[in-house]
Amino acid sequence: MLAKRTVEQLRNVGFIGHGGTGKTSLAEAMLYTAGATDRLGRTGDGTTVMDYDPEEIKRQISINTSLAPLEWQGARVNLVDAPGYLDFIGEVRAALRVVEAAVVVVDAVAGVEVGTELHWRVADEYHLPRMVFVNRLDRENASFEKALATLEEVFGNRLVPLVIPVGAEAGLKGVVDLRAEAAHLYAGDASGKWEEAPVPDELSAAVAKARERLLEAAAECDDSLLEKYLEGEALTPGEVTAGLRQGVLAGTLVPVLCGSALKNVGTRELLDAVVEIFPSPADAGAVSGRHPRTGEPEQRRPAEDEAFSALVFKTMADPYVGKLTLFRVYSGLLRSNSDVYNATRDRTERIGQLYLVKGKHQEPVAAVAAGDLAAVAKLQETTTGDTLSDAARPVVLPPVQFPAPAYSMAIVPRSKGDEEKISAGLARLTEEDPTFRVRREAATHQTLISGMGELHLEVITDRLKRKFGVEVNLEPPRVPYRETIRSSARAEGKYKKQTGGRGQYGHVWIELEPLGDGQEFEFVDKIYGGVVPQQYRPAVEKGIREAMQEGVLAGYPVTGVRATLVDGSYHTVDSSEMAFKIAGSLAFKKGAGEAHPVLLEPIVRVEVRVPEQFMGDIMADLNKKRGKILGMEPEGRLQLIRALVPLAEMFQYAIDLRSITQGRGAYTMEFVGYEEVPAHIAQQIISQAKRDQ
Which of 144, 149, 150 minimizes the C-alpha distance to 163? 144
Q: What percent of the chain has pLDDT over 70?
A: 99
Predicted pLDDT at 352: 94
Is a pLDDT exceeding 70 seen at residue 204? yes
Per-residue pLDDT reduced to its tens digit, 478-501? 999 999 999 999 999 999 987 766
- Looking at residue 167, its pLDDT comes to 94
Does the pLDDT value for residue 208 go beyond 90?
Answer: yes
- Average pLDDT (147-163) is 94
Q: What is the pLDDT of residue 678?
A: 94
Q: For 247-269, how does the pLDDT look when each residue is reduced to its tens digit (9 = 90+)?
A: 999 999 999 999 999 999 999 99
Residue-level length of the chain: 693
What span, in angstroms and rounded, lies between the C-alpha atoms of 497 and 578?
12
Phi and psi at 512, nearest 5°, equal: -110, 140
DSSP state letters, 637-688:
TEEEEEEEEEGGGTTTHHHHHHHHHTT--EEEEEEEEEEEPPHHHHHHHHHH
Instruction: Tell me what the mean pLDDT of segment 51-71 comes to.
Output: 89
Say which DSSP state 555 is in.
S
The pLDDT tens digits for 648-659 are 999 999 899 999
The SS3 call for residue 170 is helix
Confidence of residue 467 (pLDDT cuts 50, 70, 90): confident
The pLDDT confidence band at residue 44, using thresholds 50, 70 and 90, is confident
Phi, psi angle pair for 635, to nearest 5°: -140, 90
pLDDT at 18 over 60: yes
| Secondary structure element (H or E) that encloses residue 338, with its range | strand 338-342
Confidence of residue 321 (pLDDT cuts 50, 70, 90): low
Residue 104: what are its φ and ψ, rounded to 5°? -95, 115
DSSP percent split of the chain into helix, strand, coil, nearest 5: 30, 35, 35
Torsion sign over Cα 396, 397, 398, 403: negative
- Specify the pTM: 0.85
Q: Is pLDDT of 432 > 70? A: yes
pLDDT of 421 > 90? The answer is no
pLDDT at residue number 691: 80
In angstroms, rounded to a whole number, what is the distance separating the alpha carbons of residues 98 and 385? 11
Check residue 137 and give left, alpha or beta (phi > 0: left; psi -120 to 50: alpha): alpha
Mean pLDDT value of segment 94-104 = 97
* Weakest mean pLDDT among 13-22, 51-60, 175-184: 51-60
Q: DSSP labels for 580-640?
A: HHHHHHHHHHHHHHHS-EEEEEEEEEEEEEE-GGGHHHHHHHHHHTT-EEEEEEEETTEEE
Does residue 344 surpass a pLDDT of 90?
Answer: yes
Least-confidence region, from 165-169, 215-219, 220-224, 625-629? 220-224
pLDDT (0 to 100) of residue 500: 64
Provide DSSP, 280-325.
PHHHH--EEEE-TTT--EEEE-SSTTSPPEEEEEEEEEETTTEEEE
Q: How confident is the model at residue 67 (pLDDT cuts 50, 70, 90)?
A: very high
- The pLDDT assigned to 235 comes to 87
According to DSSP, residue 575 is labeled: B
Confidence of residue 371 (pLDDT cuts 50, 70, 90): very high
Q: Is the pLDDT of residue 468 over 90?
A: no
CA gap 27, 81 in Å, rounded = 7
**Greatest CA separation for the chain:** 117
- Rounded mean pLDDT of 573-582? 93
- pLDDT > 90? residue 662: no
The whole-number average pLDDT for the span 462-470 is 88
Burial of residue 502, with CB atoms counted within 10 A of its CB: 0-12 exposed, 13-18 middle, 19 or more buried = exposed
β partners of residue 325: 315, 376
What's the pLDDT at 690? 81
pLDDT at 228 (0 to 100): 87
Sign of CA dihedral 414, 417, 418, 422: positive
The answer, yes or no, to whether residue 519 has pLDDT greater than 90, is no
Q: Is the pLDDT at 52 greater than 90, yes or no?
A: no
Tell me the pLDDT of the chain averaged across its residues: 92
pLDDT in tens, 261-317: 999 999 999 999 999 999 999 999 999 999 999 999 999 999 999 999 999 999 987
Q: Within a 10 A sphere around the Cβ of 530, how many other Cβ atoms?
A: 8
- Whether 143 and 108 have beta carbons less than 8 Å apart is answered as yes
Single out the residue of 235, 245, 273, 319 nearest to residue 54, CA to CA.
Answer: 319
Which pLDDT does position 231 carry in this prediction?
A: 85
Tell me the CA end-to-end span of the chain in Å, nearest whole number: 67
Backbone angles phi, psi at 643, to 5 degrees: -155, 155
Residue 302: per-residue pLDDT: 96
Query: How does DSSP assign 401-428, residue by residue?
Result: -PPPP-EEEEEEESSTT-HHHHHHHHHH
| 147 confidence band (pLDDT: 50, 70, 90) | very high
What is the mean predicted confidence (pLDDT) over 157-172? Answer: 94
At residue 609 the predicted structure's pLDDT band, cuts being 50, 70 and 90, is very high
Q: Grade residue 319 by pLDDT with cuts at 50, 70 and 90.
A: low
